[in-house]
Amino acid sequence: SRWRIKIFATDSQETTLALARRNTYTSAFLDYFRDLDPLRFFEQTEHGYQLSPLLKNLIFFGKHNFWHDLCFVRLDLLLYRQSLLKASVSRQQHVLEQMSRSLKPGGYLVFPRADAPLLAGFPYQQMGEGVPIYQQVKPEAADQVSSTPPVQKLERKESLIETMQDLLSIPFPQGTKSLEPLSCEDRSALSSVRSSLDVVFHLAPTGIVIIDHRYQILTSNRTADKLLTPLIHDEKHKDLFHVVPGLPYTQVRTALDQVLREGTSQTLPEVELTVSGGGNGRVLSFTISLMPTQIEKPPQVVLYICDTTELTVLKKIQSQQTALLQEQQLAISHLAQKYSSLQSAHERLSEISAVLLAEYQRIDALLKATQEAREQAEQQIEQLLEEIRVLGEEQ
């Protein structure tokens, strides 16, 4: 067949993906396909139903989030089921632009009915009244297709201008809101700039996290997610200290407060995500700066994160080697002092030995002289005794 079909099944939660990979469905689920002869696509098993091998081989499961991750490209059909009504305007704008870039010209978008007004100003044509299927049209045909009131276009334009102003830190004049609605060409140019900035942001080798004045994480790139993993995903608690386990609260909180209070940058060269606190044990370098925003908006802080684990380990090894070298030098100095003392003692012993030797020689000579005198005295005594004996015999 000339058709090359791939189906990308994505979700932002691993638990949902794990459930989908099990490939197990109930008969109640098959009721959704009763008009399409579901047994063409499913096979019955002892545990229920599963996708046929032909269809299963076309599906690729993976984790993806339009807010954090790079968009797909040249999709023929995109089915988006999560509502954006409760998201911020900037988040809505970003996700919708990501979806628009993901589709190839003429591609189709299946979008929640309740969220349909959010597509106003984007180059989509609804396929039928009440049908939540939209076809992406060429930019030059968008003005003919769109029936959005100018007020709604102006609101979308203001949101886009604010987003670009925050991102590029360009001080637009006060009269910006009175400008005419953006044309498709201008919107396409801004979208292209935003797309380029998104690529730079997400693929940057340095981790980047942007938080608001309440420490709530607004966005982060892939490098930051990798360095700070494992992250705790909780819809109720999105503050930095709750999402990132093992983060030293006092050290980082003090630096953040100083940046928010004084507007100066702070650098924390060694921030350890402690294992005991649930962290990954990495040692990171944090550079914290105030992000330029409009005056009327709450301040935002950007954190630039680098992995300094290996550098810290090398510094510790170098410090240990330096300490060991100093200990060796002290030991050598101590041994040199001991050697000098021993050498002095040896010289003193040599002098004493020389004196003792001389005294020994004197005493030895005296002993020899005494021995000789004794021998002479004994000979004289023997002679006298012999003479006395002879005289006694004569008498």
Q: In this predicted structure, what is the pLDDT of residue 230? A: 84
pLDDT, mean of residues 3-9: 86
Tokens 């940046």 identify what position?
259
Q: Please report the beta strands in the chain, taking only residues with DSSP state E, as ranges in sequence order.
A: 7-11, 42-45, 48-51, 59-63, 75-79, 103-110, 124-126, 133-136, 207-212, 217-220, 266-272, 283-291, 300-307
**Model confidence at 201, in pLDDT bands (50, 70, 90)?**
confident
- Helix and strand numbers (H, E) in the chain are 11, 13
Q: Is 108 left (phi over 0), alpha (psi -120 to 50) or beta?
A: beta
pLDDT, mean of residues 223-251: 86
Strand pairing of 59-63 and 75-79?
A: unpaired
| Lowest mean pLDDT across 53-62, 96-105, 138-147 | 138-147
Q: In this predicted structure, what is the pLDDT of residue 155? A: 43
Tokens 């990132």 identify what position?
244
Q: Distance between CA 217 and CA 210 in Å, rounded?
A: 6
pLDDT, mean of residues 167-185: 47
Q: Distance between CA 10 and CA 65 in Å, rounded?
A: 8
| Lowest mean pLDDT across 183-192, 287-296, 323-332 | 183-192
Q: Distance between CA 109 and CA 136 in Å, rounded?
A: 8
> What pLDDT digit, counting tens, does each position of 56-103 carry?
889 988 888 877 777 777 899 999 988 998 888 888 888 898 888 889
In the chain, the domains with their CATH numbers are 7-145 (3.40.50.150), 205-307 (3.30.450.20)
Q: In this predicted structure, what is the pLDDT of residue 90? A: 80
Inform me whether the pLDDT recorded for 274 exceeds 60: yes
Q: In this predicted structure, what is the pLDDT of residue 3? A: 72
Tokens representing residue 391 in the block: 């005289």
pLDDT, mean of residues 108-123: 90
Q: Distance between CA 66 and CA 85 in Å, rounded?
A: 15
Please give the torsion angle defined by the CA atoms of residues 66, 72, 77 and 79, in that order, rounded to the nearest 10 degrees.
-20
Contacts of 9 (CB under 8 A, 6+ apart): 17, 20, 59, 60, 61, 62
Q: Distance between CA 224 and CA 243 in Å, rounded?
A: 12
**Model confidence at 129, in pLDDT bands (50, 70, 90)?**
confident
Q: Distance between CA 39 and CA 49 in Å, rounded?
A: 9
Burial 104-117 (b: 16+ CB within 10 A, else e): eeebbbebeeebee
Q: In this predicted structure, what is the pLDDT of residue 173? A: 43
Inform me whether the pLDDT recorded for 335 exceeds 90: yes
Residue type, 290: L
Among candidate residues 275, 196, 103, 113, the one with its CA nearest the CA of residue 122:
103
pTM for the model stands at 0.44
DSSP code per residue over 60-120 = EEEE--TTTSPPP-SEEEEE--S--TTS-HHHHHHHHHHHHHHEEEEEEEE--GGGGGGGT
Enumerate the β-bridge partners of residue 124. Answer: 136
Tokens 């200990």 identify what position?
327
Candidate ranges 5-14, 91-100, 165-174, 340-349; pick with highest mean pLDDT = 340-349
> What pLDDT digit, counting tens, does each position of 238-272 carry?
889 998 999 999 999 999 999 998 888 999 999 99
Phi and psi (nearest 5°) for 183? -80, 170
Inform me whether the pLDDT recorded for 389 exceeds 70: yes
**89-102 and 184-203 are packed helices; what angle lies between their axes, rounded to 10 degrees?**
90
